[in-house]
């Protein structure tokens, strides 16, 4: 039986995106092709942990939880058994969200929502690890894969933006606007594009929301909340 290396699994409410607040089982696959400098799940990327877990065990565990399941990482699309797991979960009646950076295609993968978080240039760890930074920079955006995901699944695009200084926010928005133009997304899809201010506590997030709100109004992008941080803080398993 196929397996996936799982770093953690837990039941909580969705903290981000269009389904914020929906009770969901989270299954976090260990392993990532990127090394974001601010990665909030380093135990599935920089220092991957976890045990190989049979897909049948994962399906059984999800069956005991909410209808909504979120397959996240790390980067679940890197691992071909994710396709078989996605098929089994949807056949069992689950609503399945895939959380991905959108850099790789996974053949046969099924999803009700492809939650894509393309990485902007501020994610690249130049000072922390120049060698990995070069690898990250080469891999962090793949327009062909992004376009294929968007044309194949229901989707949302989530962008982490820096809001501590206006120049940083403007630089990030310029990258987002360029990517949105290159993907040729229709104007009426703008509310599927979320600006997610950086922050790991109530105070910094509130400041980030206020800094980003005018850009959301001007472009019709959605303001991306982080409910799990407001509820539980910056805590694994939430």
Q: How far is the CB of 39 from ligand SF4 (least distance, A)?
A: 3
Q: Any binding-site annotation on 38? A: yes
Residue pair 111/97 in contact (Cβ under 8 Å)? The answer is yes
Tokens found for residue 214: 């005018």
Nearer to ligand SF4, 45 or 97 (CB): 45
Q: How far is the CB of 209 from ligand SF4 (least distance, A)?
A: 20
Q: Any binding-site annotation on 15? A: yes
CA distance 8 to 27: 6
In 3D space, the residue among 32, 34, 79 whose CA is nearest the CA of residue 52 turns out to be 79
Q: How far is the CB of 124 from ligand SF4 (least distance, A)?
A: 10
Q: Any binding-site annotation on 32? A: yes
Q: How far is the CB of 13 from ligand SF4 (least distance, A)?
A: 20
Nearer to ligand SF4, 20 or 39 (CB): 39
Q: How far is the CB of 92 from ligand SF4 (least distance, A)?
A: 26
In 3D space, the residue among 218, 210, 176 whose CA is nearest the CA of residue 193 turns out to be 176
Which residue ranges make up the site for ligand SF4 (CB under 6 A)? 32, 34-36, 39, 41, 44-45, 73-75, 101
Q: How far is the CB of 205 from ligand SF4 (least distance, A)?
A: 17
Q: To which residue do tokens 């599927």 refer?
A: 192
Nearer to ligand SF4, 78 or 92 (CB): 78
Nearer to ligand SF4, 110 or 115 (CB): 115
Buried residues in 128-166 as b, exposed as e (16+ CB within 10 A) = eeeebbeebbebbbbeebbeebbeebebbbbbbbbbeee
Nearer to ligand SF4, 39 or 147 (CB): 39
Residue pair 112/71 in contact (Cβ under 8 Å)? The answer is no
Q: Any binding-site annotation on 117? A: yes
Q: Any binding-site annotation on 131? A: no
Nearer to ligand SF4, 36 or 195 (CB): 36
Q: Which residues are annotated as a binding site for Mg(2+)?
A: 41
Q: Which residues are annotated as a binding site for substrate?
A: 13-15, 28, 72
Q: Which residues are annotated as a binding site for S-adenosyl-L-methionine?
A: 38-40, 74, 117-119
Q: Which residues are annotated as a binding site for [4Fe-4S] cluster?
A: 32, 36, 39
């Amino acid at each position: 039986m196929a397996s996936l290396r799982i770093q953690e699994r837990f039941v909580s409410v969705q903290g981000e995106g269009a389904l914020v607040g929906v009770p969901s089982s989270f299954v976090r696959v260990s392993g990532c092709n990127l090394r974001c400098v601010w990665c909030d799940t380093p135990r599935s990327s920089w220092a991957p942990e976890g045990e190989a877990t049979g897909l049948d065990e994962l399906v059984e565990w999800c069956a005991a939880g909410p209808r909504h399941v979120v397959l996240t990482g790390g980067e679940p699309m890197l691992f071909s058994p994710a396709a078989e797991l996605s098929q089994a979960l949807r056949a069992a009646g689950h609503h399945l969200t895939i959380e991905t950076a959108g850099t790789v295609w996974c053949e046969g993968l099924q999803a009700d929502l492809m939650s894509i978080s393309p990485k902007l240039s501020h994610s690249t760890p130049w000072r922390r690890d120049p060698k990995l930074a070069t690898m990250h920079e080469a891999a962090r955006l793949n327009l062909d894969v992004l376009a294929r995901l968007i044309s194949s699944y229901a989707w949302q695009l989530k962008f982490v933006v820096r809001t501590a200084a206006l120049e940083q926010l403007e630089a990030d928005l310029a990258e987002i606007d360029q990517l949105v133009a290159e993907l040729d997304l229709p104007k009426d899809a703008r509310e599927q594009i979320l600006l997610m201010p950086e922050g790991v506590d109530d105070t910094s997030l509130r400041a980030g929301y206020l800094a980003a709100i005018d850009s959301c109004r001007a472009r019709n992008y959605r303001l991306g909340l982080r409910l799990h941080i407001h509820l539980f803080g910056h805590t694994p398993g939430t």
